[in-house]
Amino acid sequence: MEIQEESTVNAKEYLSQAFKLDQRINSKLEQMALLRDLAVKTTSAMQTDKVQGTKQRSPMENALVKLMSLEEEINADIDQLIDLKRDLSNFIAEIESPSHRLLLELRYLGGSTWEEVAAVMGYDLRWTYRLHRKALKEANERLESSTVECL
């Protein structure tokens, strides 16, 4: 993670990092499923003539190497997501208003839709949007008084 200037990071961008990283992980998981399917479908070609030179990998071996590499990337991203959610959770815990904290936790840590947030909190959807603006204002004030890391 790289540190960005305080003035360039707003609360919404800061809090949205976990959602974006989670989407990247899901995208890589889909790629991995496609590679797994490809590896299963791929058969190694039988070679009757022995050719001197560097040994080439079979198509199946290539697919498996790519699959293992992607798995390593996903594991690193998951580790990063866990660390990021812990940081975001600590940041949100310092928000003074309990309703702001709950809204930010539901939306940015839990990944709830606005409709789900409104239902859990027992609010009208429009009131939830207003409360979100207020929560972001408080979070921006908190960000301005601290140095945080951003992806």
Q: Which two tokens stand for residue 63?
A: 């697919």
For residue 20, give every residue at least 6 positions away whose Cβ sits within 8 Å of its Cβ, in sequence order, or none: 151
**106-136 pLDDT, tens digit each:** 999 999 999 999 999 999 999 999 999 999 9
Q: Is the pTM of this model over 0.85?
A: no
**What is the model's pLDDT at position 148?**
57
**What is the model's pLDDT at position 55?**
63
Distance CA 13, CA 23 (A): 15
**4-62 pLDDT, tens digit each:** 443 456 999 999 999 999 999 999 999 888 888 877 776 544 444 555 556 667 777 77
CA proximity to 23, closest of 103, 72, 91, 77: 77
**57-96 pLDDT, tens digit each:** 777 777 788 888 999 999 999 999 999 999 999 999 999 9
**CB of 89 within 8 A of CB of 79?**
no
What percentage of the chain reaches a pLDDT higher than 90? 61
